[in-house]
């Protein structure tokens, strides 16, 4: 049984003006996501500004989310690190809190060889009983999980079951699906490649777009899985200008701005991220309106 099918939101972390996590606002956002058919919650991913959370904040955000969601949809905890021991610590704590699965990004900055990736993921997987989704995003980490490596891990480590593919390399994804005979839970990590990934056997997307368009992102996936490929493709193509605007500056700068435009009081970003440039904000606002999102 797969961890989820459909659209999981890579959810933002709302902050108060003093920089502390705004837990009441996070609760409101979680409830709204679930009400609008989001299929799973990913907490403390890149979009959640995990890299600037302390370990204590990181774990408290995970604990709070699991407790508040209360089993309504799966909660996937982002517990990756470029330090294997840190990733093990975060992962074991998330398991204690009741996470449904873990999202583990590749080591960043120090990176790793393919042998090192196998050792890193195996060590983390052996420390927990939870299913693990590997997160491949070489544009941010400088580290690419090759198809042969991902296939080896899925075939040899029982609780490494999936991959969030954000390499942007569709040929690489196709090779992975061939090497695993499709026996891997494949999720798109790029909102502009949801339909192409689904066509290769993907189960859904872990999405930035879902923060501002949860129902449409869910529908994009479910229409495809239910056989309405044309309907799914229509949503994908219509969403492209908005997806482009959501990534015209480094994520999560634009999506945080978008959530504030929607009245969510998502608060500021933590440095070194800074507020969105005015001309980019206007582009984002227009794209949201064109996609049918009511901006306050």
Structure tokens at 34: 């679930």
Strand partners, 165: 136, 188
CA nearest neighbour of 258 among 193, 208, 194: 208
Contact 186, 197 (CB under 8 A): yes
Q: Are 14 and 266 in contact (CB under 8 A)?
A: yes
135 is catalytic: yes
Phi-psi bin for 211: left (phi > 0), alpha (psi -120 to 50), beta? alpha
Find the catalytic residue in 164, 223, 256, 281. 164
* DSSP alpha helix (H) spans, the chain: 23-35, 55-69, 84-97, 114-126, 138-141, 147-156, 170-179, 194-199, 214-225, 229-246, 253-261, 278-290
Quick check: bond before 272 cis, omega within 30?
A: yes
Q: In the chain, how long is the greatest CA-to-CA distance?
A: 50
- Rounded to 5 degrees, what angle do the CA atoms 206, 276, 135 make? 25
Rounded Cα distance, 289 and 262, in Å:
11
- Our CA angle for 237, 277, 23, nearest 5°, is 80
Place of tokens 């979680």: 30
Catalytic residue (one of 25, 121, 135, 256): 135
**Rounded Cα gap, residues 260 and 265, in angstroms:** 5
Phi, psi of 255 (to 5 degrees): -70, -30
Q: Catalytic: 108?
A: no
Report the catalytic residues.
Answer: 135, 164
């Amino acid at each position: 049984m797969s961890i989820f099918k459909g659209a999981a939101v890579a959810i933002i972390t709302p902050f108060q003006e003093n920089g502390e996590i705004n837990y009441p606002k996070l609760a409101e956002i979680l409830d709204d996501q679930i009400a609008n058919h989001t299929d799973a919650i990913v907490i403390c991913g890149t979009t959640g500004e995990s890299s600037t959370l302390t370990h204590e904040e990181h774990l408290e955000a995970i604990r709070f989310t699991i407790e508040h969601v209360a089993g309504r949809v799966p909660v996937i905890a982002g517990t990756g690190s470029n330090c294997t021991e840190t990733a093990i610590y975060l992962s074991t704590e998330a398991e204690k809190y009741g996470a449904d699965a873990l999202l583990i990004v590749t080591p960043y900055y120090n990176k790793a060889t393919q042998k090192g990736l196998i050792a890193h993921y195996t060590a983390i997987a052996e420390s927990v009983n939870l299913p693990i989704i590997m997160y491949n995003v070489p544009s941010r980490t400088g580290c690419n999980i090759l198809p042969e490596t991902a296939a080896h891990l899925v075939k040899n480590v029982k609780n490494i079951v999936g991959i969030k593919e954000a390499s942007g390399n569709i040929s690489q994804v196709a090779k992975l699906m061939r090497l695993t005979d499709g026996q891997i839970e494949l999720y798109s990590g790029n909102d502009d490649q949801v339909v192409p990934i689904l066509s290769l056997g993907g189960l859904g997307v872990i999405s930035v777009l879902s923060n501002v368009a949860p129902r449409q992102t869910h529908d994009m996936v479910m229409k495809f899985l239910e056989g309405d490929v044309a309907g799914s493709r229509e949503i994908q193509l219509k969403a492209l200008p908005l997806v482009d605007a959501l990534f015209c500056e480094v994520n999560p700068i634009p999506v945080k701005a978008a959530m504030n435009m929607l009245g969510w009081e998502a608060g500021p970003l933590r440095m070194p991220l800074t507020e969105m440039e005015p001309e980019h904000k206007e582009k984002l606002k227009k794209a949201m309106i064109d996609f049918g999102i009511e901006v306050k």
